[in-house]
């Protein structure tokens, strides 16, 4: 089962993973990322559209902390489940996606 964290809980999750190169994996399309994007402290942001993930598995470490983000949380959950099936062990899904981020953490992030 994939752990769900709210955008408000993500900072604490990243702090707990500090020193272990956590990744915020944004799986939205490039046009979506141009509309709204986040850069949380303590994580490396990677904006990889969902369909590119299988080809990029070699660029991720299986024991690396990875938080997956999309618009509302559906695509990111699919990607997190796929990563789990590929042997990745430290995964969370950002529940509600960037839309919830705008509502809960940073209202300057545009909603779309």
Cα–Cα dist 54/3, whole Å: 21
CB 62 within 8 A of CB 82: no
**Catalytic pick from 70, 94, 98, 105?**
70
Q: Can you list the positions of beta strands (E) in the chain?
A: 3-5, 23-26, 44-47, 66-69, 91-94
- Which residue, 103, 100, 96, is CA-closest to 75? 96
- In whole angstroms, give the CA distance from residue 25 to residue 44: 8
Q: Is 70 a catalytic site residue? A: yes
Residues facing 91 on adjacent strands: 66
The catalytic residue positions are 70
């Amino acid at each position: 089962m994939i752990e769900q964290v709210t955008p408000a809980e993500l900072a604490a999750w990243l702090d707990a993973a500090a020193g272990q190169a956590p990744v915020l994996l944004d799986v939205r399309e490039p046009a979506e990322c141009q509309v709204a994007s986040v850069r949380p402290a303590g994580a490396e942001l990677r904006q990889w559209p969902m369909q590119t993930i299988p080809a990029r598995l070699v660029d991720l470490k299986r024991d690396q902390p990875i938080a997956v983000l999309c618009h509302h949380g559906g695509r990111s959950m699919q990607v997190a489940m796929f990563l789990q099936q590929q042997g990745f062990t430290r995964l969370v899904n950002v529940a509600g996606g960037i839309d919830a981020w705008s509502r809960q953490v940073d209202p300057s992030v545009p909603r779309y």
